[in-house]
Amino acid sequence: MIKYLYHYLYFRLYKFAKKVGTVDATWTAMLLISALLFFNFAPMIFYFINIKKISFPKFFGSILIGFICLFNFFIFIYKDKCFYIIKDYEKETDREKIISTIVVITYIVLTLVISH
> Looking at residue 42, what is its pLDDT?
84
| Contact (CB, 8 A) for 26 and 76 | yes
Instruction: Give phi and psi for 24, each to the nearest 5.
Output: -130, 95
> Looking at residue 70, what is its pLDDT?
98
Tens of pLDDT along 23-67?
A: 999 999 999 999 999 999 888 887 777 766 767 677 888 899 999
Cβ atoms within 10 Å of 99's Cβ, excluding its own: 12
| Contact (CB, 8 A) for 6 and 94 | no
> Looking at residue 51, what is its pLDDT?
66
> Looking at residue 89, what is its pLDDT?
93
- Give the CA dihedral 19, 64, 71, 18, nearest 10 degrees: 0
> Looking at residue 69, what is its pLDDT?
97
Contacts of 79 (CB under 8 A, 6+ apart): none
